[in-house]
Chain A
Amino acid sequence: MKLFVSEGNPHCLKVLAALEVTGVQCDVQYVNHEEKVVPFLSRPARPALLLPSGQHLFSSNAICRYLFEVKGNETSELCSQWLEWEATELQPALLQALYMAVLQGKGAEVSTVLQGPLNVLDQSLSKGTVPYLTGEAVSLADVVLWAALYPVLSDSSLALSEHKSVKAWFDQVAAMQSCQSAAQKVLQGKGLQGMKSYMQRQPAPQSSQCKAAQPCNNSPAEGEEGERVVSVEEMEAATLTWSRGLDSTVPADRQHPILPQEGKRNILVTSALPYVNNVPHLGNIIGCVLSADVFSRYGRLRGWNLLYVCGTDEYGTATENKAREEGLTPQQICDKYHAVHSSIYKWFQIDFDFFGRTTTEKQTEIAQDIFWKLHKHDFLVEDTVEQLRCENCQRFLADRFVEGSCPHCNYAEARGDQCDKCGRLINAVELRDPQCKVCRQTPVIRSSKHLFLDLPKLESQLEQWLDKSTGAGDWTANAKQITRSWLRDGLKPRCITRDLQWGTPVPHPDFDKKVFYVWFDAPIGYLSITANYTDKWEKWWKNPQQVELYNFMAKDNVPFHSVVFPCSLLGAQDNYTLVNHLVATEYLNYEDTKFSKSRGVGVFGDMAKDTGIPSDVWRFYLLYVRPEGQDSAFSWSDMAMKNNSELLNNLGNFINRAGMFVTKFFEGCVPVMELQQEDKKLLALVGWELQQYTQLMDKVKIRDALKHILNISRHGNQYIQVNEPWKKIKGGDTERQRAGTVTGVSVNVACLLSVMLLPYMPSVSQTIRDQLNAPQSCINTMLQGSGTFVCALTAGHRIGTVSPLFQKLEADQIESLKKRFGGQQPEEEPCEKKPTLGSAASSHPAAVPAPAAPVEVATVNGVDPEKAKQLTQAVAEQGDKVRALKTQKADKAVITAEVAKLLDLKKQLALAEGKSPEPAPQKGKKK
């Protein structure tokens, strides 16, 4: 056992005192302040105790505790408590006090700093009847606290006049011979100055204010906000906007080809090209095409001149592999799956301006052109790579076509790129007993000449551009961070050629029979797909002055879009349009299980429509849990909850009620509105939410913006609830007038909601406008500027037939879907999903499931006490109404309709209270 201490280090005083008090035998070695003793700590730690087991203790309190314990003195709880207090409360104050006294010469202020802890100590000592901290005799706590305080308290400049009990205790402990001797060893009789060289090496103590706040982990979609206070000015401004009325211009139909126009905001949107050889799953869909679709739809509403292109990424080993599996040619595989992708995106209503593919003439043309330009400007370097070649198959083997024993763990079925067992990355030539996966022959190592893109040479140019682009554009935090770390680690040349057949041929005669590596080739797909859309593609892609480029992707794809592809384009020196806004999502996980096609686990694009859940609801939920800022998870029960609480009970309920009031109370015509304070307040509240929505959408915060749509319908529901138009309609003229205003304002809010919903739920949005018979011009009026909420449905406007927009997702329905898509495995199987979201440039090694415990779904999400209160009232009122109708012997159909409403309200109430809705009571039971 060996104890390492340094002179002048106050923490060492504790352990030396403890050593003296306990009399434990131990080697003590004095080392200087800088010497590294504990191998795993970055900052030198003193004291340190090397235990017989070879472990190190680096906490002075733990060392003292140990010394006492080996002498048979078990640490009492009270003692423990003092030690913890010393570490958490006293030490920070002492550190600051010593810093001030030793280095800043502000010895006079020390007593202020120590006031708090000394009070605590003094109170405790004066309260008790025993002389020491934990009893009649000196204990571990006394030694540790005394030693901690000694450097400061022994200094004569600090009087303990206010802390008499502390003084008495301190002097008593200090009188012990062992303490005296320890103090002498550490401070050498130099007092505070003995610690100078130690203190100079310590980081300056921070005052508590400048410490980073605890990172928070709120779910942004469910943040609670208090009632906003609306000022009179806001109300007046909102009323003014309201009265402005609709713009007379009707949105122009899209004219293809869309090309950049002078004086317009020209926006080019791409989403990462999904790899063709498999069916996309929910993660792929939200990660790129759906997010880009929402933004594109929004942009068109804003009147931007916008082009959205995407397509399938079709070249590469994975396609060759799949073709072999299915007994087709690569081209046939691409044709087959391209069609699968197209139909899935169509069902999800992804509104591409063009959805192309990478296996086209244009791709070859443009890729080879960029290649030759890079070659001409000397950004390509040649090198030899050792690769495995199967002589039997007559080809070089891509990493995933080789299997063998892992050189690290001997796992027999390690792949050429990675071992599934130990997870380590492998260079294919290192595999033991390698085998060609196709013919099982042993491949040989051959060297093959390849071309590399000279990234180091382009690095400074890239950095300059990145500074500009990330500074001016909206790059998500993860995109910036991933990019920064790539640069920080330094760029290395990257191989751009491969020994394969299925790819864009390398045109250089020395590299005959080679193709471009997909990461080089695939992003060029954006250009070639645009070129297949219009001959004037260069107006988009060689026009950085006029065009703003948005790239949507999942975060695994960031480096290819922020570092590698821009380097290709910069090196080509052809005035290419480079990305201005790089929008990357985190990962979406699937319940507690990994998506797996083979086990039938998870929801894949082609299956979503078989669930019977409308495409719009899928879109809504995926966007509601969009992994924006952090990973999120898809969960069936959560989806049902969100559908039932947000869509059905909040949004749908409001829009339906507003429309029904017009139909029932005002013969389908929007009544005259006389705005009062209450109404103006609503206009201001709604206007504010609309403004938040446009601000967030402009910054591509798609999930956060959705929250504000739902807030508007919440405001609306509350407004109707408070103003009770169904009651007022039966009153006198003033009351009827009031019912009219509330109904009119509500139905106009519903109209606004339909516009805001358009990017998210295009069908529902159209249905609402159809039901309200809303003029088309409301679409581009409402999203002008920072959002303009105008009265689009004026008095006298006749609305159409109103019907419910959403259907409840029942628990049994959800259970059966969960089972259907959950595969055969037991529920508890720990597993997790790491979806590889649409990869444009890489289809990296298959995800290895890491164990994860089942995700607990927060089932309390739907609970809303405020709403429950409102609903309780509504149920009571509706009950009264039904009883009244029955006593009046009203028409049977009317009664039935009102009873149905009552039952629905009760169901909603149960949901809002977080209960599962009870089975509907039998008719007639209440009689």
Chain B
Amino acid sequence: MAVRELSSLEKYLGLKKPNKYSTQGDKKNNNGPPLAGLATIAHQLVKEAERPELLGDTAESRAVVHQWLEYSVTKLDSYTKEDIKIILKDLSLYLLDKVYLAGNQFTVADTLMYYGIHPVMVDLTIQEKERYVTVTRWFDHIQHHPGVRQRLPPVLIHRNRIYMADTIEI
């Protein structure tokens, strides 16, 4: 799981020589001890790619980025149906006035959250996608962010609502 997400991230960042990961998601660090942990390695990869803006450009936004990285590794690794409802509801509310997780800037948190939440989105019915419309909007935005989606199947998003409409026009 983690390996796939990391190599996707690597590809997105355009890193030339691919790193080696073990199945636990360990990364063999060229200069130092091996690192473990999806968010940690993601962080390291972004640094390697010299794209610091993806980690946030102020202490505040860096903290926000880390918060969402942590959120995606803790909440989206395994979950119950109930958890998912809460996650989608909270994210909906959070994203109400934001373009990206860290506000107006695309960051690595969007990428990992996208990879993490993709299996959830694939399973949502059209109706649920409408209910969590801001998450859906954010998700659609990220899946079209150049280079992010890669081999993942695109999730179909309809822009017209069919369920929330209380009158269906003839």
Which residues of B have CB within 8 Å of A492? 166
Interface string of B55-93 (1 = CB under 8 A from A): 000011011101100110110011111000010011001
Encode A661-677 as 1/0 by CB contact (under 8 A) with B: 00000000000000000
Is the Cβ of B70 less than 8 Å from the Cβ of A59?
A: yes
Q: Are B67 and A62 in contact (CB under 8 A)?
A: yes
Kindly list chain A residues whose C-beta atoms are within 8 Å of the C-beta of B127: 481-482, 485
Q: How far is the CB of B49 from chain A (nearest CB, A)?
A: 15
Cβ of A855 under 8 Å from chain B: yes
A517 to B169, CA, bound (A): 9
The interface-forming segment of A431-439, A637-645, A845-853 is: A845-853
| A852 lies within 8 A of B125 (CB) | no
Residues of B near any A CB (own CB < 8 A):
1, 29, 32-33, 35-40, 43-44, 59-60, 62-64, 66-67, 70-71, 73-74, 77-81, 86, 89-90, 93-94, 96, 103, 119-120, 122-123, 125-127, 140, 143-144, 149, 151, 153-154, 156-170
Interface residues, chain A, CB within 8 Å of chain B? Answer: 39-43, 51-53, 55, 57-59, 61-63, 65-66, 69-70, 77-78, 80-81, 83-85, 87-88, 91, 206, 208, 210-212, 214-217, 316-318, 398-400, 416-418, 423, 425, 478, 481-482, 485, 492, 495, 498, 500, 517-519, 555-556, 587, 589, 630-631, 830, 832, 834, 842-853, 855-856
Least CB separation from A846: chain B residue: B160
B151 to chain A, nearest CB (A): 7
User: Can you give 14 contacting A-B residue pairs, CB < 8 Å?
Assistant: A59-B66, A59-B67, A61-B66, A62-B67, A62-B70, A69-B63, A215-B122, A215-B123, A418-B160, A481-B127, A485-B163, A834-B156, A850-B157, A852-B156
User: In this complex, which of A77, A317, A846 has the most chain B Cβ atoms within 10 angstroms of its Cβ?
Assistant: A77
| CB contact between A84 and one of B70, B94, B120, B165 (< 8 Å): that residue | B70
**A208, B78: Cβ atoms under 8 Å?**
yes
CB pair B162–A844 under 8 Å, yes or no, is yes
Q: Is there an interface contact between B126 and A555, defined as CB atoms closer than 8 Å? A: yes
- Other A-B contacts than A80-B39, A846-B160, 8 sampled, CB-CB below 8 A, are A40-B93, A59-B67, A62-B66, A62-B67, A65-B66, A78-B35, A84-B70, A589-B156
Whether the Cβ atoms of A847 and B40 lie closer than 8 Å is: no
Whether the pair B70, A87 counts as a contact (CB closer than 8 A) is yes
A853 & B37 in contact (Cβ 8 Å cutoff): no
Question: If the complex has contacts A57-B63, A208-B78, are A417 and B169 also in contact, measured as CB distance less than 8 A?
Answer: yes
Bound CA–CA A66/B65 (angstroms): 11
**Residues A211 and B125 in contact in the complex (CB < 8 Å), given A43-B86, A59-B67, A631-B156:** no
**Alpha-carbon gap, A85 to B26, bound state (A):** 12
Contact A478 B158 (CB under 8 A): no
- Are B122 and A84 neighbours in the complex by a CB distance under 8 Å? no
Minimum CB–CB distance from A842 to chain B (whole Å) comes to 5
Chain A positions within 8 Å of B126 at CB level: 555
A589 CB, nearest partner CB in chain B, Å: 7
B122/A847 in contact, CB under 8 A:
no
Min CB distance A501 to B, Å, is 13
A65 touches B122 (CB 8 A): no
Nearest CB in chain B to that of A212: its residue:
B80
Given contacts A206-B80, A215-B122, contact A517 B170 (CB under 8 A): yes
Q: How many whole Å from A627's CB to the nearest CB in chain B?
A: 10
Compute how far the CA of A630 lies from the CA of B96 in the bound complex, rounded to whole angstroms: 28
Contact A55/B66 with A208-B78, A853-B149 known, Cβ cut-off 8 Å: no
A855 cross-chain contacts in B, Cβ below 8 A: 153-154
On whether the beta carbons of A518 and B73 are closer than 8 Å, the reply is no
Q: Which of B122, B163, B164 contacts A217 (CB 8 A)?
A: B122
- Indicate the member of A80, A212, A482 with the most B CB atoms within 10 Å: A80
Determine if A77 and B156 form an interchain contact, defined as CB atoms under 8 angstroms apart.
no
CA A206 to CA B159, docked complex, whole Å: 38
Contact residues in A for B125 (Cβ distance below 8 Å): 478, 481-482
Cross-chain contact A832 with B170 (CB below 8 angstroms):
no
Measured CA separation A212–B80 after assembly (Å): 5
- Bound-complex Cα distance A53 to B103 (A): 11
Which B residues touch A399, using CB under 8 A? 169
Most chain A CB inside 10 Å of its own CB: which residue of B29, B161, B169: B169
Contact B79 A212, beta carbon cutoff 8 Å: yes
Would you call B103 and A42 a contact (CB within 8 A)? no
In the bound complex, do residue A55 and residue B39 qualify as a contact, i.e. CB atoms below 8 Å apart? no
